[in-house]
Chain A
Amino acid sequence: MSPTPPIDAVLRLEYAADFEYSYAAGKFASRFMNALRTEARLQGTRCDGCNKVLVPPRPVCGLCSGRTAEWVDVGPSGVITGYTVVEVPFIDPMTGVERPIPYGFAFVRLDGADTNIYHFLEESRHDKISIGMRITAVFKPAPERDGTLADIIHFRTE
């Protein structure tokens, strides 16, 4: 934090707080991210209780709190189940600067999955997007992949 001189008579100080951290994504996310990085392969876990396939994969079902056991392949295509196009400027807390707008983002239900992930859409005109639209993942080239969800650049219309 580095205060700068006051900007008005009531003494309002402007500063930035920059918190750096290392986030351990956990066993399930690690397996997903490694398969994404090495094979451009997407996977979920199936719940023993309700049989639903969950993406993100995880040890306990978000829908029925049952245990998951089996890993299953999902995607790379899927369907839009909800969407918007962000047109309002805001500071990206992950960078400290404004995130480029407009951008489309959606709930993506990957083929074979019963839950949805948030991801970017290639399309950023909201009247060109609809619920139920088929889309497919666009992966970064293998050498550029680093084992994060950003290894999928975005989803484009099939």
Chain B
Amino acid sequence: MGRNAAIVAVGQTDHVSRRLDVSIPEMVREAVDRCLGSKDLNSGQVDAVVVGNMELFEGINFPELWMASAIGAAGKPLFKLNNGGTVGASVAVAAAHLVASGLYDVVLGIGYEKQSEGETQSAITTVGDPAWERSVMAGAIGNFGVMASTYVAESGVTAEQAAKVAVKARRNACFNPHAHLQRPDITVEEVLASRMLAAPLRLLDMCPSSDGACAVVMAAPDRAREMTPRPAWVVATETAHDTQFMGDSPKRLARMRSLIAASDSVYSKAGIVHPRAEIDVAEIYEPASYAELAMYESLRFCDWGEGGALIDDGVTLMDGELPVNPSGGVLSTNPVGATALIRVAEAALQVMGEAGDHQIPGVETALATGYGGNAWSEAVIVKGSAS
């Protein structure tokens, strides 16, 4: 990168199933107001805006036009991204690149989704190739069912181990006022008894469907230091793709080529050799309980096939050696276009020391990931110092 970029402010809505009280622009504005307001900033200080969401999730074409006034973008450079579930992380990376390149000093990044306005599983099904996949695919749930079956066969991970991830997420969420599903009393037995959606995935193994938005302010070094005492410096970013057809690599979850490529790249750029020891907290994009365990392996938090043991040993719990998703993660909150930006924003809050009741003490280095369409991963490392 040309120069450093840092996240200085974060804002989120309180994520819920249905926001009937606000339109999409009004909901997005809540996140923007909370973000700018957290550091007493105003939209006049923003040089450019990047906004992202999912295609076909809402019945709106050209959404950036609909919300230009809501996000203070009229008369400014405004960029839209639409790259699936990864989009929120891509918004953060694009904002970091726009600042690092020297083009703009202060960039507002926004992700949002109002899932209650459409049919998520139906819209995701249209991701499938019209000739080869679409008539068989069943949204994200069906895809993850198939992927999880291969991961179970590959790793021997059990339904109980996956359920522990589902429990961890909803319990962690109790310490995050913005989280959608907060369940202090949830148990492994309850997860295992919940309705089967697409074997081996049960209802409580999957992320919810949320309405919500997230915004971050990315700033150049001198501006960042003016705006907040401890910025979250974006020290490494990477994006990586997998193949076109789902079936080209049935081990897409057991051996996540895109996540391996993206995380290896950011580890290298950030000088991280032993991720489990050197990363203080991770906010990863885990759309299903099994996916989190698989991601532990592809992120090299453990050896192949050891993802289940990591949760058994409590390594990724809030008070473990490497807490994963203290915010409650995607399993607790999933306004899809915002979800990956929430990962980056939560990683930044941890580094800034502003995560409130789910703050992990002494975070210097945090990892965030984005994931979409079983095809695309994004990884971001934020640190407390820019070196």
Contacts and interface: CB of A to CB of B under 8 A. Distances in A.
Interface in A43-92: 54-56, 58, 62-63, 81-88, 90-92
Interface residues of B, number: 45
Q: Which has the most chain A C-beta neighbours within 10 Å: B125, B196, B248?
A: B248
A62 B131 contact: no
A129 B249 CA distance: 20
B20 interface: yes
Contacts of A87: 195-199
Nearest to B198: A84
A42 to B, nearest CB: 13
Contacts of B149: 82-84, 131
Contact of A29 (B20, B121, B132, B249): B132
A34 to B, nearest CB: 13
Contact of A93 (B126, B136, B195, B247): B126
Interface of A is mostly: mixed
A120 B197 contact: no
B21 interface: yes
B153 interface: yes
Contacts of A8: 20
Given A85-B198, A131-B150, A131-B153, A116 B123 contact: no
Given A62-B248, A85-B198, A118 B150 contact: no
Given A17-B59, A90-B125, A118-B132, A84 B150 contact: no
B199 A126 contact: yes
B196 to A, nearest CB: 5
A94 B135 contact: yes
A88 B141 contact: yes
B245 A62 contact: yes
A36 B137 CA distance: 21
A99 interface: yes
A105 B230 CA distance: 50
B139 A90 contact: yes
A93 B125 contact: yes
Interface string B120-135: 0111011011111111
Contacts of B189: none
A116 B247 contact: yes
Contact of B20 (A10, A25, A63, A116): A10
Given A82-B146, A83-B149, A93-B123, A12 B198 contact: no
15 contacts: A29-B132, A33-B131, A56-B132, A58-B244, A82-B150, A82-B250, A83-B145, A85-B198, A86-B138, A94-B135, A105-B136, A115-B248, A116-B248, A118-B132, A126-B196
The 7 A-B pairs at the shortest CB distance, nearest first, are namely A84-B145, A116-B247, A126-B199, A62-B243, A90-B121, A62-B248, A88-B197
